């Protein structure tokens, strides 16, 4: 119990510091008690928020939108694609199945960051660097998602059900979208969350692909501001408020979907 208490402090203090500090003006950050609020916290917090979203023609709002697009839409499409492939690998016998699965497995061991430079070289070949596609398209591929989908499909979709659907004259594809995806739902949420986090956190790919600030995801944007603090000190409090705002969506997503991932997360490790 004592151990857990001490480590709770370790895990939550930085986030608490971020919360209290985002309610301070630039000067107050160094002059007031660091882990507590000031007399005028709420007012300063909203003033900071206002400055955050208005700085540089609302650049920060644009970054949040970009991240939502890259991670939200990317993970949604990526999950469907991975689910279809994993499902086919688990539920059908066909030639080349083992080979495909082994290729997917080796894909799991090749990390996304190792691909950033090769992708950059390819995209510059077709003049697509510094576009949203350059970050969006590569993010759709998730070999780990296929691997998880295959395990989940094997575990949660009974063959008898598929046979029954076939006897009823339901097409394979219709069966997948109406019956199988429902059975795999908790697993699909887990795959979605994993991929969402992976895309949201991906740093190297946007760093190497994008030059135009308007296309940045929020992590790269805050990184860019942070590295300008020594020239533009007023950015410091914006970076702190921005950091707080940028982690809220993920925390909310995790809380809202907790029921799903806490049951689905284990399956990948147990198997």
Partner 1 sequence: MSVLSTPAEAPKAAPVSRRTRSSGAQRRAVALFIAPFAILFLAFYAIPIVYAVVQSLLTVEREGTFGRPRQVFGGFVQYEQVFQNTAFWESVGRVLLFGVVQVPIMLGLALLFALLLDSPLLKGKKFFRLAFFAPYAVPGVIAAIMWGFLYSPSLSPFGAVTSNVDLLGGNLVLWAIANIVTWVYVGYNMLIIYSSLLAIPTEIYEAARLDGASNIQIAWRIKIPLVIPAIILTAVFSIIGTLQLLAEPQTLRSFSSAINSTFTPNLAVYTTASVPNYNLAAAFSVVLALATFILSFVFLKSTQRKVTQ
The residues in 91-150 that bind partner 1, with binding defined as CB under 8 A, are 91-94, 97-98, 100-111, 113-115, 117-122, 125, 137-138, 140-141, 143, 146-147, 150
CA nearest neighbour of 217 among 63, 3, 56: 63
Q: Taking CB under 8 A as the rule, does residue 234 contact partner 1?
A: no
CB 40, min distance to partner 1, A: 20
The site that binds partner 1 (CB under 8 A) totals a number of residues, namely 106
Could you tell me the smallest distance in angstroms from the CB atom of residue 30 to partner 1?
A: 6
CB of 137 to partner 1, least distance (A): 6
Q: Is residue 201 near partner 1 by the rule CB under 8 A?
A: yes
Nearer to partner 1, 57 or 211 (CB): 211
Distance of CA 156 to the CA centre of its chain: 25
Query: What is d(CA 67, CA 73) in angstroms, rounded to the nearest whole number?
Result: 10
Structure tokens at 139: 């993010």
Place of tokens 């059908």: 92
Cβ count within 10 A of residue 248 = 9
Q: What is the H or E stretch that residue 155 is in?
A: helix 143-156
- Taking CB under 8 A as the criterion, which residues in 67-96 touch partner 1? 81-82, 84-85, 87-94
Q: Is-contact 259 77, C-beta < 8 A?
A: no
How far is residue 237's CA from residue 258's CA, in Å, rounded to a whole number? 32
* Residue found by looking up tokens 């979605």 in the block: 192
Closest CB 167 distance from partner 1, rounded Å? 6
Three-state SS for 72? helix
Q: Which of residues 240-259 bind partner 1 (CB under 8 A)?
A: 240, 243, 246-247, 250-251, 254-255, 258
Among 154, 179, 183, 257, binds partner 1 (CB under 8 A): 154
* 30-59 footprint of partner 1 as x/- string (CB under 8 A): x---xx------------------------
């Amino acid at each position: 119990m004592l151990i857990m208490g001490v480590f709770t402090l370790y895990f939550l203090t930085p986030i608490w510091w971020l919360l209290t500090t985002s309610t301070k003006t630039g000067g107050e950050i160094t002059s007031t008690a660091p882990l507590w609020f000031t007399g005028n916290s709420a007012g300063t917090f909203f003033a900071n928020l206002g400055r955050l979203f208005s700085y540089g023609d609302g650049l920060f709002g644009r970054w949040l939108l970009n991240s939502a697009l890259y991670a939200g839409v990317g993970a949604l499409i990526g999950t469907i694609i991975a689910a279809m492939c994993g499902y086919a690998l688990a539920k059908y016998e066909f030639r080349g199945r083992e080979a495909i699965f082994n290729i997917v497995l080796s894909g799991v061991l090749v990390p996304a960051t190792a691909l950033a430079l090769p992708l950059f070289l390819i995209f510059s070949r077709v003049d697509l660097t510094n576009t949203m596609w350059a970050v969006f398209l590569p993010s759709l591929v998730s070999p780990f998602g296929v691997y998880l989908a295959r395990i989940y499909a094997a575990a949660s979709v009974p063959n008898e059900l598929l046979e029954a659907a076939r006897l009823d004259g339901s097409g394979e594809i219709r069966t997948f979208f109406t019956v199988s995806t429902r059975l795999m739902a908790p697993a699909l949420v887990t795959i979605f969350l994993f991929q969402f986090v992976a895309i949201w956190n991906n740093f190297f790919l946007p760093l190497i692909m994008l030059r135009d600030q308007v296309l940045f995801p929020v992590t790269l944007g805050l990184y860019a501001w942070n590295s300008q603090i020594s020239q533009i000190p007023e950015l410091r409090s914006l970076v702190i408020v921005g950091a707080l705002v940028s982690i809220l969506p993920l925390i909310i997503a995790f809380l809202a979907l907790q029921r799903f991932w806490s049951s689905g997360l284990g399956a990948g490790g147990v198997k």
